[in-house]
Structure 1
Amino acid sequence: MNFSHLNQQVYGMPQVVKQAKVSVCLITFKHEDYIQTCLDSILAQKTNFDFEIIIGEDHSPDRTASIVKAYADKYPDKIKAYIRPVNVGAKVNFLHCFFDCQGEYIVHIEGDDYWTSPDKLQKQVDFLDCHPEASACFHNAQIIYEDGTGREPSVINPVDQAPWIQSSDLLQEREAWFMATASVMMRKKLVKTLPEWFFHSKSGDIPLYVILAEEGPIGYLPDVMSVYRKNEGGMSYTDSIKSATFIHNRIFMYSKINEYTQGKYQHLIQPILFEYHLLLTRITENEHSFFKRLYFLIKASAHSPKKLSQEDWKNLIKTYVFTADSFLAYLAFRKKMNRFFGIRG
């Protein structure tokens, strides 16, 4: 996919770091209350190498753009900022900046998150330099809940988190929640080109991490070095799975991952596809349609992790197809068909 038409949106004439070891890909939209903290945490990094900051500001309706411009003016030797005249969407905004990164290693952070250790970049670079077999590495992170739930801050990774991650681990842990976006550092050479299907996936993290893991294991550092804000502005996974568009895209993504990995993890992907097809029987768009629900149940059965018995089918139909509304719709349809064919009863 070509993003060159977006290059003209760069702000000012930044002095790009010629020999940047690390590129920080910063994506921001409506982050006026957070972006300064994020940028300060990046600029506070103590390293024995140069790094660049590539910012994609996606036409925010608040003061985010003006804050980004002020930092770009102050640090032209570090920051290259793209100020979008129109909103291009999170995925395009990220990919344009991602492919503009010049460093040997790339890290990605969103404007409402921030780093808590000034040694974060140095520690991760040292790790990857010492482990050429690793495709990437990530570290522990703290979650701060600003979503109105009142939950206390917590860390993402448990004390017994495995030191190395493989593709199978990513596919067993749905949505790759154990890898905070702002904690990941990857080798650019492994993701210079990406398969076409990647650009059509709503999720960027899951397929990207699988693509990396197929090139080499992903290392884990137990240090807590970043904060992930869980705020009210974002759409949660729980909200997303109520959307048919979201579910269909997840089915597409996991099907393509299965093809990309040549079926090596089919035993892990099939149950995921089974569950997503079952979810399609539960969403609002299909709740009144007996036949749509039955259709998606049949589609789900093709991905069942086990051969379905007659009893399994009875239980699945009872659970996922026969709601009061869909059953009444079915009866009305059957009545119409009987009338059409002159069948009584």
Structure 2
Amino acid sequence: MNKDILVSIDCLAYNHEAYITQAIEGFLMQKTNFSVEILIHDDASTDGTVNIIKHYEKRFPELIKPLYQIENQFSQGVKMQQNNQQRAKGKYIAVCEGDDFWLDPYKLQKQIDFLEGNEKYSLCVHGAYKFSEAYGKTIGKVRPSRKNRAFSAEESIEGGGELFPTNSMVYRRKLADDVPSFYFDAGIGDYPLTIHLAHKGRVYYIDKAMSIYRVDVKGAWSQQTIATAEKAVEQDKKTAELLDQINIHTNFQYDSSIQLTKKKQHFYLLLRQHRLKKAFRKEYIKVYLHKEFVRRVLKKMVNTQIYAKEKIIYFFEKSK
């Protein structure tokens, strides 16, 4: 095995005591013909997360390289992913947050084999199972395509932040070293990074669920960001501002996709606010007549029925 590190695993953790073991075990089970390093950045957890990380650090000191914060950096607006990447030695970065985990022991090998053989691609992703902490079971998949295929920058922009699972991302580190600072200022997860990488190259999707993506996790970024209607409005504004900046930065190369995406984001915000009269105005016609909207409505109806049924069963069992 080559002693030079080829892949740096980027793992951000905060109060993930219940999950971090699965995340680390998912890293350790990877079977590769190259060397990796595991960079875990704990953001001043107040539960038992640090003790678990230290346990693994003691067992695998050459492999696991933690960074322990004394004060929470996220609350101070620090760009933690950038900090973690700055200490990476690998040619590639593989991302997995501390509350998610990988399922396939050959996940990294498959993605690196593809990227090593296809220089024009900057990012490789795959499907994932969605696991609800609230219901304690798998509730679906993140699956942007029914087959292996390339995604363009336009598709990556229009797909939004939920198009690709964060814990499926493996990308060329050198292309992320020059990400403009405003990409991270918006504070909206890995969506800006995905756009940047798609602009620098192409995105390749492997149609296999090789990881678990948790939802309904207490304290998770998505929960903190859009837990209230007020925060949803603020996030819609930040996303629109970010897309405007990207538009300028890329010399309006993706203007059509960016304008459509801004409309789409605001349309779904209006639906969340129950402002249906405004949502179904002519200006949003491209959104609500698109097959994506129909698919999301049908999926929401099915999930609502399933959740309602489970709640009835839960309360019935509890009342016995």
**TM-score normalised according to structure 2 size:** 0.77
Of 86-95 and 258-267, the range deviating more from structure 2: 86-95
Q: How does 1:107-122 map to 2 (within 5 A)?
A: 107-122=94-109
The aligned counterpart of 1:209 is 194
2:150 equivalent among 164, 173, 179:
164
- Corresponding residue to 1:183 among 146, 159, 168: 168
Quick one: structure 1 residues 55 and 275, their matched pair in 2 at CA, closer, same or farther if it must change by over 3 Å?
A: same
Match of 1:145 in 2: 132
Does the residue aligned with 1:171 lie in a helix, a strand or coil? helix
Count of residue pairs brought into register by the alignment: 272
Cα distance per residue 1:53-79 (max 9 Å; x no partner):
111001111000111111111111101
CA contact (8 A) 2:123 2:197 kept: yes
Aligned equivalent of 1:52 = 37
Q: 1:204 to 1:193 in 2, by over 3 A?
A: farther
Larger deviation: 250-259 or 119-128?
A: 250-259
Larger radius of gyration: 1
Deviation at 1:277, TM superposition (A): 6.2
Deviation per CA, 1:23-79, whole angstroms, max 9, x where unpaired?
Answer: 000100011011011101101111111000111001111000111111111111101
What's the secondary structure of 1:135's corresponding residue?
A: strand
What is the CA–CA distance in structure 2 between the aligned matches of 1:125 and 1:103, rounded to whole Å?
12
Paired residues of 1:46 and 1:119 also in contact (CA < 8 A): yes
* Whole-angstrom CA distance in 2 between matches of 1:305 and 1:277: 9
Which 4+ residue blocks in structure 1 deviate beyond 4 angstroms?
274-284
- Contact 2:144/2:164 (<8 A) preserved: no
CA distance in 2, matches of 1:97, 1:238: 25
Unaligned runs of 5+ in 2: 286-320
Runs of 5+ consecutive residues of structure 1 not aligned to the other structure: 1-16, 288-296, 307-345
Higher mean C-alpha deviation, range 59-68 or range 191-200:
191-200
Alignment of 1:83-162 (within 5 A): 83-89=68-74, 92-148=79-135, 152-157=138-143, 160-161=146-147
> CA separation of 1:206/1:83 partners in 2, compared to 1, >3 Å: closer, same or farther?
same
Deviation at residue 240 of structure 1 after TM alignment: 5.7
The DSSP-based 3-state class of the residue aligned with 1:203 is coil
Root mean square deviation of aligned Cα: 2.8
Which residues of 2 match residues 1-345 of structure 1 at below 5 A? 19-89=4-74, 92-148=79-135, 152-157=138-143, 160-161=146-147, 163-175=149-161, 177-233=162-218, 234=220, 235-236=222-223, 239=227, 242-243=230-231, 244-274=233-263
Three-state SS of the structure 2 residue aligned to 1:267 is: helix
Identity level (%): 29
TM-fit CA distance, 1:278: 7.3
